[in-house]
Homo-oligomer: A and B are copies of this chain.
């Protein structure tokens, strides 16, 4: 395998053309699309249209004339196609953390409402110790409010299936782990949870736009996900939220099943009545006034994924991560890198991670050379391979740069040891 082979693969790659849909600096190999997706070429014009024409000229009228009111559902319906959901089951709103609070509360309320289960018996929220911390924090915050002795039980990824039992109210997992790229068996975990009478809450932050997800086909209950990673929605883009149709129906009359009860989740927000009555649809998961500019940017980002198709994207993603691992084996052995991501591509998302004793300065040295990956505590180098705009030759160049940085001890330069607030 040499660089020409990689260039040849790019030439045969039917997705290579999508690279042109992005504005990426020419001096950068961007392997951090799993932290912040790249800028689509269409976004700036779309946002300008929203600002200058819809807001500037249309003013308040644009809630109707530019259909701002529907935008959270319209973008949600597009994301539904990426995660195997029906259009009316997904809404774009708020942040992943806040959406998680809503669906976790809904799941606990559903459990509490089931006549055969006493609340005191099902008090365990089961998750993974290495889950993205905000998910754990949100569960802790919600439990602190409920005051019913809910317990957040954290286990290792391989222990999840056997830890699900009659005390489990909710299994709350991130489908693809942020630190390792390891992917849970969404179907298998959901099946086991349902057998045990538990419900599932999936965080699809590192899945949506990278890995096909079959929420309906696996009977998943609730899910949330991030707009600014593979969906290319821009920094702090609105997040999304999924609730299965059967739960939307079951909860339709439960006023505070979603306790962040704001006016945009009301059945008739513009009647301005003093009592909350939730919308009998996914709209109940809306809270305040939707972020229209952010939603427009997210809409443009989601379109880039839909244009390529999630099936072909996954195929290329697997090819790129396989290539990355093979090239590291070929070029970087003996330098102390240890693969942290699963070797089996079926159990891996769209990223490849290694542990290394000096992971932090190595990542900084790579960034200085234009290869942007990131560091994750305690000792992880993380490389996200967004198949929309990363090619096989990029992978070659990144691995060769990694080899050069490790071989030259360039990473030992003092400036690479200083930690900024965010890496």
Contacts and interface: CB of A to CB of B under 8 A. Distances in A.
Contacts of A140: 255-256, 261, 275-276
A48 B44 contact: yes
A317 interface: no
A136 B57 contact: no
A11 to B, nearest CB: 26
B48 A97 contact: no
A120 interface: no
Contacts of A291: 235-238, 291, 294
A236 B137 contact: no
A125 to B, nearest CB: 13
A55 B28 CA distance: 13
Size bracket, chain A contacts:
35 or more
A374 interface: yes
A383 interface: no
How many chain copies? 2
Contact of A274 (B39, B54, B154): B154
Interface stretch (A262-270, A320-328, A335-343): A262-270
Contacts of A28: 59
Interface in A127-149: 129, 131-134, 136-138, 140-142, 144-148
B145 A292 contact: no
A377 interface: yes
A235 B98 contact: no
Contacts of A69: 421-422
Contact of A137 (B133, B141, B262): B262
A417 to B, nearest CB: 15
A97 B295 CA distance: 18
A230 interface: no
A40 to B, nearest CB: 9
A283 B136 CA distance: 18
Contacts of A236: 288-295
Given A147-B146, A293-B294, A62 B235 contact: yes
Contacts of A89: none
B377 A271 contact: yes
Nearest to A56: B39
Interface string A312-356: 000000000000000000000000000000000000000000000
Given A276-B141, A292-B235, A287 B421 contact: no
15 contacts: A23-B52, A25-B59, A47-B48, A48-B48, A60-B374, A137-B262, A137-B276, A138-B261, A141-B276, A145-B259, A235-B289, A236-B290, A270-B422, A272-B376, A294-B294
- For the complex of A and B, the 10 pairs showing the least CB-CB separation, nearest first, are A95-B288, A97-B262, A141-B261, A144-B256, A134-B263, A235-B292, A39-B56, A97-B288, A137-B276, A236-B291
